[in-house]
Amino acid sequence: MIRFIETEDLLHIRNEVLREGRLTPDECRFPTDKIDGAFHLGYFVEDELVCVTSLFPQGYGTFTGLGYQLRGMATLELHRGKGYGNKLVNFAVIYLRKLGANYVWCNARKKAAKFYHDCGFEIVSDEFEVTGIGPHYVMYLKIQ
Ligand SMILES: CC(C)(COP(=O)(O)OP(=O)(O)OC[C@H]1O[C@@H](n2cnc3c(N)ncnc32)[C@H](O)[C@@H]1OP(=O)(O)O)[C@@H](O)C(=O)NCCC(=O)NCCS
């Protein structure tokens, strides 16, 4: 089941999955977590939060229209490959369409590019390095 959640609900998953448990929950906050229009989604399995993502009203580069950035996409290791991440992104896209968004984009880890591609995203940048994390692409999905 998918629910809207608060930043505080997901910090432990960001830490465990995206920062290898190296940070405190507070250090896993993004500066945009509480901006107007930001929202956070969680996939629950029997009341356990297992997959999260966050959406921020922020455009990319020179792209026109209302853009949202998808960030902090993470599924607990035990629950990967079950389609939860795909369902969460699809839910986000349907909700963004209702909000009038034109597109959604993300800085995708190279390792996760196939996951985003399967969700309908395409690569729109050269490969670039994020220090301490590894190679990335900007990926984009047109909504309307
Ligand atoms: C990337 C990530 C969020 C994907 O989450 P997920 O919940 O495993 O995603 P899905 O299950 O929807 O899709 C992942 C894979 O499972 C497959 N899959 C989808 N539905 C499935 C199902 N019902 N049963 C089995 N497998 C399924 C997909 O085809 C995909 O296959 P792939 O391994 O060949 O790419 C997760 O792997 C993760 O947290 N990785 C570490 C952090 C990370 O890299 N985050 C992205 C930062 S940009």
CA-proximal residue: ligand 1, atom 1 (nearest): 112
**Encoded amino acid at 20, one letter:** E
pLDDT in 10s for each residue of the chain, 144 residues = 999 999 999 999 999 999 999 999 999 999 999 999 999 999 999 999 999 999 999 999 999 999 999 999 999 999 999 999 999 999 999 999 999 999 999 999 999 999 999 999 999 999 999 998 999 999 999 999
121 Cβ inside 6 Å of ligand 1: no
Atom of ligand 1 nearest to the CA of 84: 7
51 Cβ inside 6 Å of ligand 1: yes
What predicted TM-score, i.e. pTM, was given to this entire model? 0.94
Number of domains in the chain: 1
- What CATH number corresponds to the domain at position 57? 3.40.630.30
Spatial distance between the Cα atoms of 112 and 50, rounded to a whole number of angstroms: 17
| Residues 19, 28 contacting (CB under 8 angstroms) | yes
Find the domain containing 124 and state its range: 2-142
